[in-house]
Amino acid sequence: MKLNEKGSSQIFLCLLLLLALSGVTALVLNKVIHLKKNRLRYSSLLCLRESQYYEAKFITEVNSINLLLVSTLPFKYSGIPYVAQAANATIKLAKIKQQYSLFKFYRKVYSLKNCSTITKAIIIQNLPFDLNFKTTFKRDNDETTTLKLKKFSIRYFSIEKVSLKIRPIIFKSTFTLDNNLDTEVSIYTREESI
């Protein structure tokens, strides 16, 4: 029995072509998974950077107004009526400005497009200041805001859905303040593994 050499060489070429196509397909699938993971990482990093910027700006703004409140408080109790009235007006305006900063911060956090709803809730939950019903600041005797936490951490998740093949990318940032008059916010960020 003689083999058909032409037919067996065609089958061999078809198998070789099939093997090459499966290798290219595996390579393309690997690159697609890598691309999705990089897009997820990019989205998480955008969430992290935007929210850190707004949070640091908010803390700095509130603490700089605290410095103003501390410096004008002695004038409130001075015996000169016009100076005391001006100090009272300045203190009231400074408190209103702090409240406005709080609501502006809430609006900015809820407008973040790259952060998930859970991350937004975590950011709002972990403010370093003591708040009454999340809307007004608790105050010390010197009219400054009360600092609840000197060091706090926030975990950042992206808004994109994660498949079972790709682990979610989570970043953890630790914010550090010295006191409620500190206008320098220290931020340390690292990637967490699951």
Tell me the pLDDT tens digit for each residue of 100-122: 999 999 999 999 888 888 888 88
When the pLDDT of each residue in the chain is averaged and rounded to a whole number, the result is: 85
pLDDT at 62 > cutoff 80? yes
Give residue 25's pLDDT.
Answer: 94
138 or 149, greater pLDDT: 138
18 or 152, greater pLDDT: 18
Q: What are the Cα distances from residue 176, in Å, to 56, 61, 180, 190, 194? A: 10, 16, 11, 15, 25
* Closest to 63 (Cα-Cα) out of 89, 88, 97, 87: 97
Q: What are the Cα distances from residue 28, in Å, to 24, 164, 186? A: 6, 19, 42
Give residue 57's pLDDT.
Answer: 93
pLDDT at 50 > cutoff 70? yes
Rounded to whole angstroms, the Cα distance separating 93 from 95 reads 5
Mean pLDDT on 149-168: 73
* Closest to 52 (Cα-Cα) out of 188, 149, 178, 145: 188
Give residue 164's pLDDT.
Answer: 60
Please give the share of the chain, as a percent, with pLDDT higher than 70. 89
Give residue 42's pLDDT.
Answer: 85
Give residue 91's pLDDT.
Answer: 93
pLDDT tier for residue 1 given thresholds of 50, 70 and 90: very low
Mean pLDDT on 4-18: 80
Mean pLDDT on 4-16: 79
Give residue 18's pLDDT.
Answer: 92
Decide: helix, strand or coil at residue 176. Answer: strand
Give residue 108's pLDDT.
Answer: 94
